[in-house]
Structure 1
């Protein structure tokens, strides 16, 4: 196995820090790092737009991201602000559907990105690690769905 590059070590460390992949071992993080990329997004820059085809997901390393939906007047409304460690854009990567919301950098951000193609490549090259990554994403989505269900229920009472 080749020695990880400086960039891959940085990605590995960021993956270990984000808290999303607690079930992974050090070797898993090292292997997974090669499938992720890093990006820096300036405050106010749109990361993706509601309705776009979803070709990647992100994990926030630093900064904040506003999740926006378009209201009936065609105006963007911020429905959530995501902070360090949160993943977003993963639904479209997993289900192939269009983006359900827009995401805009609410501050300068550093992001870890996982493309749909990279996830497919990981599934072929390292299926056990890919399964752990996908499971962690599914658990995160499940927790968010349970919270949303609880919020809907509390609004009805």
Structure 2
């Protein structure tokens, strides 16, 4: 497979992936193959990417725009957990465990994303197991970094409440 077989959209996806630090160890061919298994999602301001409790079927990277991650509080109020901008990833757990979404994600302005569905990932991993493993390692790294960040926030909260 040569990179010349990419459509214009896949080439755009690959160019975006090249700019993400998470993929800096991937070569052009690997990124081309990954790009062929991804698709674009366009959200209007106020539109939901997904809602807490939805079945998780994809992960994505923000190409442009702003997403807000919200969690419903005990009193039914929405608590903003994070704002995601260009290069941020969301939904990594969906590719690993296909569990329900743990938060709601809303576009705060028009947003474009590239997404990898669980089916797209499974197809890619079947064709190219080595690339599949490489992607899983990167996703595990993202999840690990998120977990460390959350743990450190939790520790700060616990100290400030004493």
TM (norm. structure 1) is: 0.94
Q: CA deviation at 1:73?
A: 2.2
Question: Per the alignment, in what secondary structure is the counterpart of residue 142 of structure 1?
Answer: helix
Q: CA deviation at 1:27?
A: 1.2
Check the 8 A contact 1:39/1:113 in 2, yes or no. Answer: yes
Which residue is equivalent to 2:147?
Answer: 145
Residue ranges of structure 2 left out of the alignment (5+ in a row): none
CA distance in 2, matches of 1:111, 1:18: 13
Which residue is equivalent to 2:62?
Answer: 60
CA distance in 2, matches of 1:64, 1:20: 20
Which residue is equivalent to 2:119?
Answer: 117
Aligned partner of 2:13 among 11, 14, 19: 11
The count of residues paired between Structure 1 and Structure 2 equals 157
Q: Deviations over 1:27-58 (max 9, x none)?
A: 11011111000121111100100001001111
Which residue is equivalent to 2:76?
Answer: 74
Residue ranges of structure 1 left out of the alignment (5+ in a row): none
CA RMSD of aligned residues (A): 1.2
Question: Per the alignment, in what secondary structure is the counterpart of residue 21 of structure 2?
Answer: coil
* Stretch moving more, 111-120 or 90-99: 90-99
CA distance in 2, matches of 1:88, 1:11: 17
CA distance in 1, matches of 2:76, 2:13: 38
Which residue is equivalent to 1:36?
Answer: 38
Q: Deviations over 1:63-96 (max 9, x none)?
A: 1110011112223221111111111011122112
* Stretch moving more, 44-53 or 22-31: 22-31
CA distance in 2, matches of 1:82, 1:95: 22
